[in-house]
């Protein structure tokens, strides 16, 4: 049995994203899909004393956004030290800030990336490394892509040698499960419900923020507040 998930890359995603990575054997970053504005591809949220705040990576967008995530270029590098400054200001008193900063700060201040997928993947892989997630991560362009929403996903699974496809619940609106059945691939839906709360700075608890919030506050104990990541 080999479990596969296929999801667009996000910028410093929330904990559920990493739980899905940990739940499969191969995670394919689906960055041949169209870039979408005001989405999670190039932004995420942190907690501050004033409430949730967006950290957004500026990108260059052509025309009416008919470009793939893969083609999306980052607009300059000014955002990187600004994002780090925001993280420093709002999390420096978190219990595990110094520990996380040892590997996170250089990603912001010592590295540069020209395209969004490379940036997202770099952060995702470093966070996986810290959490001990050993899942194989690939990009959609490592494979041949077919036409058709479901057909393409099924064919990617077949090329990856997958026997089970793990999908986020939002895809129920468009996935044709019969195409998976015809190829002998089991379709399973991931459940994001039931996460426990953890000690969090700045008021009422919020789940829907970047996983960095969990790491700064809990360090290696982050796995206790996730479903598929083990100590």
Checking if the pLDDT of 64 tops 80, the result is no
The average pLDDT across 107-136 equals: 98
CA angle 146, 148, 149 (to 5 degrees): 110
User: What separation in angstroms does the CA of 95 have from each of 44, 48, 106, 217?
Assistant: 22, 16, 20, 6
Q: Cα–Cα distance between 144 and 128 in angstroms, integer?
A: 26
> Which sign does the torsion angle of CA 26, 29, 33, 39 carry?
positive
% the chain with pLDDT above 70 = 99
Residue pointed to by tokens 């953890």:
198
The average pLDDT across 127-146 equals: 97
Residue 194: what pLDDT? 94
Structure confidence by residue, pLDDT tens digits, 184-230:
999 999 999 999 999 999 999 999 999 999 999 999 999 999 999 98
Residue 148 DSSP label: S
Structure confidence by residue, pLDDT tens digits, 9-63:
999 999 999 999 999 999 999 999 999 988 999 999 999 999 999 999 999 988 7
Residue 153: what pLDDT? 97
Residue 66: what pLDDT? 80
CA angle 150, 3, 100 (to 5 degrees): 110
* Among 8, 13, 10, 14, CA closest to 28: 8
- CB 216: neighbour CB atoms within 10 A? 28
Residue 195 DSSP label: P
Helix (H, G, I), strand (E, B) or coil at 46: strand
Look at the pTM and tell me if it is higher than 0.75: yes
* Among 185, 190, 179, 181, CA closest to 160: 185
């Amino acid at each position: 049995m080999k479990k596969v998930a296929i999801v667009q890359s996000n910028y410093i995603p929330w904990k559920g994203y990493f739980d899905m990575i940990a739940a499969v054997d191969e995670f394919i970053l689906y960055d041949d899909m169209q870039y979408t504005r005001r989405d999670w591809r190039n932004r995420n949220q942190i907690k501050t004393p004033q409430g949730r705040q967006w950290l957004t990576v500026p990108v260059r967008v052509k025309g009416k956004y008919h470009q793939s995530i893969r083609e999306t270029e980052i607009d300059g590098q000014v955002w990187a030290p600004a994002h780090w400054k925001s993280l420093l200001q709002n999390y420096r008193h978190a219990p595990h800030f110094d520990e996380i900063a040892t590997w996170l700060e250089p990603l912001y201040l010592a590295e540069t990336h020209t395209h969004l997928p490379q940036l997202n993947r770099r952060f995702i892989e470093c966070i996986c490394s810290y959490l001990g997630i050993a899942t194989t991560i690939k990009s959609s362009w490592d494979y041949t892509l077919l036409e058709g929403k479901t057909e393409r996903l099924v064919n990617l699974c077949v090329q990856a040698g997958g026997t089970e496809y793990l999908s986020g619940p939002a895809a129920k609106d468009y996935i044709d499960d019969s195409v998976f059945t015809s190829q002998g691939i089991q379709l399973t839906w991931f459940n994001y419900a039931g996460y426990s709360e953890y000690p969090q700075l700045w008021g009422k608890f919020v789940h829907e923020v970047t996983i960095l919030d969990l790491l700064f506050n809990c360090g290696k104990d982050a796995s206790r507040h996730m479903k598929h990541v083990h100590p």
